[in-house]
């Protein structure tokens, strides 16, 4: 009976560990342990700030490109509507 308990516990431990380590709590604990080894909290904050500033710059460039593409498409659609003659729908009546 004790062997059965040992086998079941041995099979459950990896699942429990992977669930805990993959959770937000596990990630936060890992980040804290990692940041303690890298340097002071001020340095970590400065690194994060630099990373976030880079991401903001990248995202603002992407938004600018998307805005230009949207304006171009709107102009194309407006030109297409202006060039196409207006068609009057007709109703076919069978005699």
How many Cβ atoms from other residues are within 10 Å of residue 47's Cβ?
Answer: 13
Q: Tokens 């990248």 belong to which residue?
A: 58
pLDDT of residue 66: 95
pLDDT of residue 63: 95
Does residue 95 register a pLDDT over 60? no
Torsion from C-alpha of 72, 76, 77, 78, nearest 10 degrees: 100
3-state SS, residue 12: helix
Q: Which residues contact 20 (CB under 8 A, 6 or more apart)?
A: 26
Q: What are the residue boundaries of the structural domains of the chain, listed by start?
A: 15-81
pLDDT digits (tens, 9 = 90+) for 26-71: 788 877 777 666 656 677 788 889 999 999 999 999 999 999 999 9
pLDDT of residue 2: 84
Q: What is the mean pLDDT of the chain?
A: 82
How many Cβ atoms from other residues are within 10 Å of residue 77's Cβ?
Answer: 10
Alpha helices in 23-40 (DSSP H): 24-38
């Amino acid at each position: 009976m004790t062997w059965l308990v040992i086998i079941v516990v041995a099979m459950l431990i990896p699942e429990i560990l992977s669930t805990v380590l993959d959770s937000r709590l596990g990630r936060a604990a890992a980040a804290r342990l990692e940041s303690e080894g890298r340097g002071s909290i001020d340095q970590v904050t400065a690194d994060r700030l630099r990373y976030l500033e880079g991401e903001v710059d990248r995202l603002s460039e992407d938004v600018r490109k998307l805005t230009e593409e949207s304006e171009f498409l709107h102009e194309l659609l407006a030109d297409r509507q202006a060039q196409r003659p207006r068609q009057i729908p007709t109703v076919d009546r069978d005699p």
